[in-house]
Amino acid sequence: MGTATIQAVRGMNDVLPDEAALWQRIEDAARDTFAQYGYRNLRVPIVEPTALFVRGIGDGTDIVEHEMYTFDDHGESLTLRPEATAGIVRAAIEHHLTYDRPQRVWTAGPMFRHERPQKGRYRQFHQFDVEALAFAGPDVDAEQIIMLGRLWKRLGLDGMALQINSIGDARERHTHRRALTGYFRANFAKLDADSQRRLESNPLRILDSKNPEMQAVVAGAPQLFDLLSDDAESRRHFSELQGLLQAAGVRFEVNPNLVRGLDYYNRTVFEWVTTRLGAQGTVAGGGRYDGLFEQLGGAPTPACGFAIGIERLVLLLREARAVGEAVPDAYVVHVGAAPAAALALATGERLRDAGLAVVVHAGGGSFKVQMKRADASGARWALIVGDDEVAANRVAVKPLRAAGEQIALPPEDVAAHIRAAH
C-alpha cells in the first residue's frame, strides 16, 4: 500500500507555469500603471495583531465574525490578513509616513478568508491594494478610478462598468442606519435569514444583498442621499467627483445600494464590475476611509484606496483571450562532445546580453528529441550546436515559425540576425 499523496488546502490554489504567464502580465501592467501616477511600493506583513482588523474592519462584519484565520501565538492573538488597507494604515502610523507629506502607495500579495470556495472567490486570494494617504479628495478619488480605467485598457479588457455611491460621513451614516433599522424591522418577515442576522449588527450590508427575492424590499429602503441637506459636505464631495469623472470621459452609474463590506468607508465608494464572472462580478473596489487613522490610534488623516482581485482578472483575461503565453525568442539545441554544450551556454548568454529570451536545452537527449522540445517551446528559432559547429565556430540558425533556410553564423552575429528578422 503506497503512501497517500498530500494535496493543497481547499480554496488555496497552485499557480502553474502556464497560468503564471497571465499573472506576470497583470503584475507588470499594474506596476507600470501605478508608477505613471506616482504610486510607490510599500510591503507589509501577512500576519498582523488580530486587534488591528477588529478595530479597523469592524467587529460586526462577516470578515471579523466568521472569516478570519486567527491563532494564538504564545498568548498573543494573531491573524492572517483578510485585507491590506488596515495593515498599510498601521504601517503609516507606526513609521510616521504622512507627517510631512501625503503618500501614494501600493502593495500586493495573498489575503486569507475562511469561506466557501467558488469561482473567483478563494480562501487564499491575491490582491493589488492601492492607497492615497493624507489626500482629502475628491480629486484623488477620481484619479484612482481613472487609473483603473487606464489599467483595463492596457490589459485589453472591455465591458468593465463603473458603479459609484456616497455613503456620507459618520454622523450621516448613523442617521441613515437608524432609518434603515426602522424600515427593515417593519419589513422583518420579508428579510432572508442572512439579512435578519445583519439587521442589528450591520444593516447597511442588507442593501448589498444579492438574493433576488430581497430586491423589492431593498429598493424601498431609505437612501442616504435623501437624508442629506443641500449644503452637506459629503454631497458637495460626491457632486465634484461626478464632475471630474464626466470631464475625464469616464462613464459611471450611481448605485445607491453600493455600500462595500467594511466598516471603515465613508463618502465615496466605487466598484468596477463585469457580467462575465457570474456572481463574483466585482473586479476592483474601494473608496474613502477618512476615519481609519484615528480608529487605529493615529492623527486624523483623510485617505482613499482600492483593491484589485488578481484571480478575477486572470479569469477575465483567460475568458477574453486577451493575453498570450510568453515564449522564448530562441531554443538552443546541442549534441556531441562537451565543447558543444559550452558553446551552447555561451551563445545563450550572448543573446540574453542582447535582450533576447533564450532557452538552452538541458538534460541530454537525442537531436530529434531536442528539436521536438524546441518546437513545443513556441520559440521562433532553433539554434543548433554540434561538433561541426564547434570546429567552425558557427551556430546553425533554423527558423521554426516561418519559411526559410537554415544558415550558419558566427556566434556574435546570431542576435543581430534574429532581431533583423522580427
The structural domain count of the chain equals: 2
Q: Are 72 and 104 in the same domain? A: yes
**Secondary element (H or E) of residue 65:** none
Q: Are 305 and 347 in the same domain? A: no
Report CA 287 to chain centroid distance, whole Å: 16
Q: Are 383 and 266 in the same domain? A: no
Query: Which residues neighbour 265 within 8 Å (Cβ) at sequence distance 6 or greater?
Result: 167, 259, 287, 288, 289
Q: Which of 323, 326, 327 is nearest to 314 (CA)?
A: 323
Q: Are 22 and 139 in the same domain? A: yes
Instruction: Supply the pLDDT for residue 276.
Output: 73
Residue 344 corresponds to which cell in the numbers above? 551552447
333-353 burial, b for 16+ CB within 10 Å, e for fewer? bbbbeeebbebbeebbebbee
Q: Are 113 and 255 in the same domain? A: yes
Domain-located, residue 194: no
Number of H helices, E strands in the chain: 15, 16
Q: Are 74 and 118 in the same domain? A: yes
Instruction: Supply the pLDDT for residue 241.
Output: 94
Domain endpoint, select from 289, 320, 351: 320
As a whole number of angstroms, the longest Cα–Cα distance in the chain is 92
Q: Are 260 and 400 in the same domain? A: no
Instruction: Supply the pLDDT for residue 115.
Output: 77
Q: Are 289 and 350 in the same domain? A: no
The residues of the chain scoring below 70 in pLDDT are: 1, 58-65, 119-120, 228-231, 260-263, 277-280, 320-326, 422
Domain-located, residue 124: yes
Q: Could you give the angle at which helices 85-94 and 50-57 cross, rounded to 10 degrees?
A: 110
Instruction: Supply the pLDDT for residue 97.
Output: 94
By DSSP bridging, strand 47-49 and strand 40-41 are unpaired
Q: Are 287 and 391 in the same domain? A: no
Distance between CA atoms of residues 319 and 94, nearest Å: 42
Distance between CA atoms of residues 294 and 300, nearest Å: 5
Instruction: Supply the pLDDT for residue 20.
Output: 87
Q: Please give the order of strands across the beta sheet that includes 381-385.
A: 358-360, 330-334, 381-385, 395-399, 407-409
Domain-located, residue 180: no
Q: Are 48 and 152 in the same domain? A: yes
Instruction: Supply the pLDDT for residue 238.
Output: 92
Q: Are 414 and 272 in the same domain? A: no
Distance between CA atoms of residues 85 and 278, nearest Å: 26
CATH number at 383 reads 3.40.50.800
Q: Are the CB atoms for 135 and 305 separated by under 8 Å? A: no
Domain endpoint, select from 300, 320, 340: 320
At 121-159, the pLDDT tens digits run 789 999 999 999 999 989 999 999 999 999 999 998 888
Distance between CA atoms of residues 52 and 211, nearest Å: 31
Domain endpoint, select from 287, 320, 353: 320
Q: Are 303 and 373 in the same domain? A: no
The strand pairing partners of 359, in sequence order, are: 331
Report how far apart the first and last C-alpha atoms of the chain are (Å, whole number). Answer: 55
Range of the domain at 381: 330-421
Instruction: Supply the pLDDT for residue 103.
Output: 95
CATH number at 293 reads 3.30.930.10
Domain-located, residue 87: yes
Instruction: Supply the pLDDT for residue 338.
Output: 85
